[in-house]
């Protein structure tokens, strides 16, 4: 839903005060066109803002949203692929979606408040925690990184104010909020409560189900090296949505007009600048560092600093001979071997790139590929990076966000 906020200020149904419902992808399996958290608004007159699937299921979602506006109730709709019925509503790509549909103005979701965020310039950090089961309700979080779930009376009220449930919610909700991600959280209701709100009776088998959407400021790409390769990588980083900084210690290079596409241009020694940014809290686990200086006096101290920060990606340009010399120098300076395992050097995927523009594609392709192995392997031994042509593969194109459908997952383990 957060993706729609920037457009609300100019959307006529929102401005005129029409009743609306929001439809959000809350679970997905197989090949699906849009990620979790993608939303679509439907007005009482059938106007639509946003898209969930590029056309495959929108018509059915609009019908369900209009019903939700009329009866004031929320609902969960499932869409998949039907080979037997060519006219069935489903996804031609073969994936599965679960779409939660909820009227705005109910259960803590207010269109006027969302429009207020749009008028305020759509804050760069914002999150919404929604309860999708019968309990309903929502909590808006305006500082996801610093949000402490155990200290939030709003979250406690949302999940039932039972200490064990709040603790379980905090353990799952905070990583999503602080990582700027979207995801489902399921919690077992406290024993003796029928819905987790404290009423005595038979235990309710349905879990408390929360959907978390979190948006943080754009992740940073720090490019070190004011040269042809740095100039080509700037627009590529912008295209991927990064906040791009170019840093070089040499004023005659960094002040060239071809680097104006960067969000920031800094003239400073690379390792000193990175250390200062880390100390100020302006780099995090989403930050990527691309070292293109190809000069040991810059590279070695910079890589020592970068490899100690737990960044998402650290890559360094150079030949294989330069790489071996670089590794020897880092080891001699005391860089742990396990830290060197996280270094992408020589930088980029093997695409046969030659020109600066081609090298930029190679680097960004490796950054995207490295995201896909997050969570696999250990913190000290990452899983091997694997990137190949889609035509040579098999199985789902996109990683599964939610095992099969929510219903099937509940049948296997209702408290997962």
Who has greater pLDDT, 3 or 115?
3
Q: What is the pTM of this model?
A: 0.69
> For residue 36, what pLDDT is reported?
85
List pLDDT tens digits, range 320-375: 888 899 999 999 989 899 889 999 989 999 999 999 999 999 999 999 998 765 54
Task: Centre a 10 Å sphere on the Cβ of residue 87 and count the other Cβ atoms it contains.
Answer: 6
291 has a pLDDT exceeding 70:
yes
Q: What band does 199 get if pLDDT is binned at 50, 70 and 90? A: very low
> For residue 134, what pLDDT is reported?
77
Q: What band does 384 get if pLDDT is binned at 50, 70 and 90? A: low
Nearest to 286 by CA among 147, 175, 180: 180
378 has a pLDDT exceeding 70:
no
List pLDDT tens digits, range 219-262: 999 999 999 999 999 999 999 999 999 999 999 999 999 998 89
Task: Give, in words, the CATH class of 220-382.
Answer: alpha beta
> How many Å apart are CA 148 and CA 167, to the nearest integer?
11
Q: What band does 191 get if pLDDT is binned at 50, 70 and 90? A: low
> How many Å apart are CA 360 and CA 375, to the nearest integer?
26
Taking residues 15-38, report their average pLDDT: 81
Every domain of the chain and the residues it spans: 1-107, 123-217, 220-382
Sign for the CA dihedral angle at 101, 103, 104, 106 comes to negative
> For residue 98, what pLDDT is reported?
87
Phi first, then psi: give them for residue 111, nearest 5 degrees: -65, -35
Q: What band does 379 get if pLDDT is binned at 50, 70 and 90? A: very low
> For residue 368, what pLDDT is reported?
92
Who has greater pLDDT, 200 or 303?
303
* 56-60, 265-269, 294-298, 386-390: segment of lowest average pLDDT: 386-390
> How many Å apart are CA 3 and CA 101, to the nearest integer?
16
410 has a pLDDT exceeding 50:
no
> For residue 54, what pLDDT is reported?
66
Nearest to 213 by CA among 339, 332, 128, 142: 128
List pLDDT tens digits, range 61-102: 899 999 999 998 888 888 865 444 433 444 455 567 889 998
Q: What band does 120 get if pLDDT is binned at 50, 70 and 90? A: low
């Amino acid at each position: 839903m957060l993706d729609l906020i920037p457009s609300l200020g100019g959307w006529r149904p929102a401005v005129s005060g029409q009743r609306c419902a929001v439809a959000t992808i809350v679970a997905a399996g197989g090949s699906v066109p849009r990620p979790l958290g993608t939303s679509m608004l439907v007005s009482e007159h059938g106007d639509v803002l946003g898209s969930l699937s590029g056309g495959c299921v929108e018509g059915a979602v609009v019908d369900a949203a209009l019903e939700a506006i009329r009866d004031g109730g929320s609902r969960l709709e499932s869409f998949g692929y039907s080979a037997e019925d060519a006219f069935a509503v489903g996804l031609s790509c073969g994936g599965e979606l679960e779409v939660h549909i909820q009227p705005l103005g109910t259960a803590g979701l207010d269109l006027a408040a969302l429009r207020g965020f749009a008028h305020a310039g759509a804050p760069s950090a914002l999150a919404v925690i929604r309860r999708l089961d019968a309990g309903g309700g929502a909590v808006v979080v305006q500082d996801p990184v610093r949000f402490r779930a155990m200290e939030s009376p709003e979250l406690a009220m949302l999940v039932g104010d039972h200490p064990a449930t709040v603790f379980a919610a905090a353990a799952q909700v905070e990583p999503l909020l602080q990582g700027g991600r979207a995801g489902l959280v399921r919690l077992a209701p406290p024993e003796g409560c029928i819905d987790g709100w404290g009423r005595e009776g038979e235990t309710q088998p349905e879990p408390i189900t929360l959907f978390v959407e979190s948006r943080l400021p754009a992740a940073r790409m720090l490019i070190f090296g004011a040269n042809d390769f740095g100039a080509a990588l700037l627009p590529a980083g912008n295209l991927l949505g990064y906040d791009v900084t170019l840093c070089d210690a040499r004023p005659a290079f960094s002040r060239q007009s071809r680097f104006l596409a960067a969000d920031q241009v800094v003239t400073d020694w690379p390792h000193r600048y990175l250390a200062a940014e880390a100390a100020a809290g302006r780099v995090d686990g989403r930050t990527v560092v691309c070292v293109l200086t190809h000069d040991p006096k810059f590279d070695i101290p910079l890589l020592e600093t970068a490899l100690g920060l737990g960044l998402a990606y650290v890559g360094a340009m150079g030949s294989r001979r330069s790489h071996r010399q670089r590794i020897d120098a880092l080891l001699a300076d005391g860089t742990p071997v396990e830290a060197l395992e996280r270094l992408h050097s020589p930088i980029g995927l093997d695409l046969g790139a030659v020109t600066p523009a081609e090298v930029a594609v190679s680097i960004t392709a490796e950054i995207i590929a490295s995201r896909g192995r997050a969570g696999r392997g250990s913190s000290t031994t990452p899983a091997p990076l694997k990137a190949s042509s889609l035509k040579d593969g098999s199985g789902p194109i996109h990683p599964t966000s939610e095992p099969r459908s929510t219903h099937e997952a509940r049948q296997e383990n209702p408290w997962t």
